[in-house]
Amino acid sequence: MNAELYGFLSLPILVVLLAFRIPIAVALGSVAMVGLYLILGFEPMIGASGSLTFDFVASWELSAIPLFIFMGAISAHSGLVASLYQVAQVWLARVPGGLAVATNFSAAGFAAASGSSLATTAAMGELAFPEMQKARYQPSLSTAVIASSGTLGSLIPPSILLVIYGLIAEVSIGDLLLAGIIPGVLTAMVYATMIIVRCTFNPDLAPRDTEAVRVPLVERLLMLRSIWPLPVLVLAVVGTIYSGFATATEAAAVGSLAAFLIALGMRRLNWDVFLGSIKDTLHMTSMIFFIVLGAALYSKFLAITGTPEVIAQTAAFGRDNPYLLFLVMAAVFLFLGMFVDSLGMMLLTLPIFIPLVQETGFSLIWFGVFVVKWVEIGLITPPVGMNAFVVKGVVGDEVSIGTIFKGLTWFVAVEFLIVAVLTLYPEIVTFLPDLANSGQ
């Protein structure tokens, strides 16, 4: 059996393993190791896997991941961004669906400190769901807005998925983080517009918060003082990258230090907060690294088989009609999103898709955002929909998973619209990276 056939056979085998709920890291790593053994033999397999895993974990750029996770953990455990929701709740009380809109924008702010969709969703679920239940919001809206706005953590810097994409695609992580800003803000704005329009035409979805409406302007202005840590953290990360003062990895260290010092200065950093942040960082980092190592082994196996080159030659139509190619990729992401987690979906497809995109001449920076957008959609589509199940874990038996997915259909629909706009107008994505590079 030739090497190319091994590569093609590995794909359905992976799908079967994942369908049986084998962890993505185990599935990727085991298929890669068996494949390398069949092609190269035992000793070359051990040598290739050993050197690859060491080189990958020793990567300097990879250290940005635990630093960004630690920054988000400190921010969450010390309550640095909890006041953001309270401020948004008061300022948006006069808007139809004000609590839902406040949840949406607060999640965008939390994402800027966390970089994790699951962390953003869990935190906003704890904060926002009780308030929306108290205000008699329909559960389909309250749970759906929490699950969908949590996906902003995948895109708004510091996005861990964009960091991993940059490592795999070998493109500037700083440029990728800048590229995620406008699409992330655009997504939050489109979500908010959709919520306001729905609640305007169907007021029963979200009754007005009469208490928040009566808060005097002076008091609302004074409340703004409590949200100052958020812009400082954003400036610490995005500002240092944009100015050229720091690389993405160095900016992650600056952001972590800023979160630590702010929590310390506000007397919110005690031993329990620090230990909880360290535990969360170790747990998330080890999980992500384990998955990434499995994907790195699988990518090495595919490269040896020559499968990506065969697929690239077969898909030569993409050079003449790249939009058709992107449509096919979107269909693959939608299919995989039904049973593969976001990181696994990305790592499973990138070794094959990146060479195809390079054939089209499209920017790999733009493609990184394109990939993460489809990952976001996968986080809120059934039957897996990780964010939906995170919300379900927060709300318990109060809301069924079917009700959550029913509410999410509106958000999935607007996500399709956003992806279409970003595909037709890629300069929306590349504007900030191009502007930053032109000034250097």
Please tell me what DSSP assigns to residue 425. Answer: -
In angstroms, what is the C-alpha Rg of the chain?
22
List the one residue out of 60, 430, 440, 64 whose CA is nearest residue 244: 440
| Dihedral sign of CA atoms 264, 115, 64, 366 in order | negative
**pLDDT at residue number 145:** 92
List the one residue out of 365, 426, 416, 424 whose CA is nearest residue 170: 365
Per-residue pLDDT, averaged over 313-327, amounts to: 69
> Which residues have C-beta within 8 Å of that of residue 433, sequence separation ≥ 6?
172, 175, 176, 178, 179, 365
**Which is higher by pLDDT, 54 or 350?**
350
Contact 372, 162 (CB under 8 A): yes
Please tell me the pTM assigned to this model.
Answer: 0.76
pLDDT band at 42 (very low <50, low <70, confident <90, very high): confident
What percentage of the chain exceeds 70 in pLDDT?
Answer: 87
**pLDDT at residue number 82:** 67
Q: What is the pLDDT of residues 247-268, one digit of tens each?
A: 777 888 888 888 889 888 888 8
Q: What is the pLDDT of residues 385-439, one digit of tens each?
A: 778 877 887 788 888 888 998 999 999 999 999 999 999 999 999 999 988 887 5
- Rounded to an integer, what distance in angstroms lies between the CA atom of residue 274 and that of residue 282? 12
pLDDT band at 138 (very low <50, low <70, confident <90, very high): very high
**Which is higher by pLDDT, 199 or 216?**
199
Termini Cα distance of the chain: 52
pLDDT band at 133 (very low <50, low <70, confident <90, very high): confident
- Rounded to an integer, what distance in angstroms lies between the CA atom of residue 121 and that of residue 152? 9
- pLDDT, the chain, mean: 80
**pLDDT at residue number 318:** 55
Q: What is the pLDDT of residues 181-192, one digit of tens each?
A: 899 999 999 999
pLDDT band at 365 (very low <50, low <70, confident <90, very high): very high
